[in-house]
Amino acid sequence: MDRVLIVDDEDRIREVLKEYAAFEGFDVAEARDGIEAVQICRTRDFDVIVMDVMMPRLDGFSAIKEIRKTKPVPVLMLSARGEIYDKLFGFELGIDDYVVKPFSPKEVMARLHVILQRNRPHEPPAPAPDPPVAADSGPSANWTDAGLVLDPLGRRLWIDEVRVDLPPKEFDLLVCLVRNRNLCLSREKLLNEVWGYDFFGDTRTVDTHVKLLRGHLGRYRCRIATLRGVGYRYDGG
C-alpha cells in the first residue's frame, strides 16, 4: 500500500484529499503545517507527499528543502498562487508536479498515481521508437504538423524527432486543440473538455496551462493562437 502525507493548513482540503486518497487505496497521514510535516517525516517514510505552499510557521517550499536533506521523497505541490515563477521555483527544488488551487481532487489523485509510477524502480528503458507517421485523419490517428508528431492513444509527442513528455493536463489540452484545429475554442469549452464538468476551478486554469504548453512546444508555440476575450485556436495541420 502506497503511503501519502497530506500537508495543508486548511482542514477542509485535508479532509477531502484524505477521503479521496483512502478510497484510492493509500495509507494516509496528515499535517497542518510545514514544521509538523518535517517532524513526521523524521520518524516515518512516505512514497509521496502532497504539500501546500502557503502555510503558517513554515511554508511548503522550506519544508520540502528540509525533508529532502535526508529523504528524496516525491512531492506534489498545492498552491493558490498560479504565477509561472512560483511553479518554476518549485521545479527547481525538484518537486514532481504542481497543482493550482482550486483543484479537482480527482486530478490530484491521477497526478499522484503518475508520480508514483514514474518513481517506481523499473527495468532499463528500451530504445525509443522512431516517431510514428500519420496514418489517417481520424480522431485517434497519429498526427503530424511540420516537426510535431502527436500520438493521442499512446500519449506521446515528438518535436523535431525528439520525444517530449508533457504533464497529463498539458497533453490533454494539446489533443483537444489539435482535434479541433483551426476552430476557436472558448476557455469554458476547454475547461469542460479537458478538466471535466466537476472541476472546481476557473478559466485562469486554462490560461496557465496554455502558457506552460507553449513553453514545451518551443518554436512551435505560435501554433496556439490567442483570441483576445474569447479563447484559443490551434493553427496548422
CA distance 83 to 163: 27
169 and 62 inside one domain: no
Residue 133 is assigned to a structural domain of this protein: no
Q: Residue 80's pLDDT is what?
A: 79
What are the mean pLDDT values of the chain's consecutive 10-residue runs (237 residues total)?
94 94 94 95 94 90 91 88 72 82 89 84 53 46 85 90 87 92 90 70 77 90 91 88
- pLDDT, position 27: 95
pLDDT for position 141? 58
| Residue 24 shares a structural domain with residue 95 | yes
Q: Which has the closest alpha carbon to 216: 121, 84, 38, 94?
A: 84
Domain-located, residue 137: no
Q: What is the pLDDT of residue 139?
A: 41
Last residue of some domain: 103, 119, 135?
119
Contacts of 125 (CB under 8 A, 6+ apart): none
Q: How many domains does the chain have?
A: 2
How far is the C-alpha of 189 from the C-alpha of 156, rounded, in Å?
Answer: 24
Residue 128 lies inside a defined structural domain of this protein: no
Q: How far apart are CA 156 and CA 129, in angstroms?
A: 11
Same domain, residue pair 156 and 108: no
Task: Tell me, yes or no, whether 155 and 60 share the same domain.
Answer: no
Q: What range does the domain containing 221 cover?
A: 143-234
Identify whether residues 189 and 221 lie together within a single domain. Answer: yes
CATH number at residue 188: 1.10.10.10
Tell me if 104 is assigned to some domain.
yes
Rounded Cα gap, residues 131 and 20, in angstroms = 37
Query: What is the DSSP secondary-structure string of 30-74?
Result: EESSHHHHHHHHHH---SEEEEESS-SSS-HHHHHHHHTTT----
Tell whether 23 is covered by a domain: yes
C-alpha cell at 36: 509538523
pLDDT at 121: 62
- Residues 57 and 153 occupy one common structural domain: no
Give the pTM. 0.53
Statement to judge: residues 95 and 169 lie in one domain: no
Mark whether 100 and 175 lie in a shared domain: no
- Say yes or no: 107 and 11 in one domain: yes
- Which of 119, 151, 168 terminates a domain? The answer is 119
For 102, half-sphere exposure in the C-beta direction (CA atoms, 13 angstrom radius) is: 8
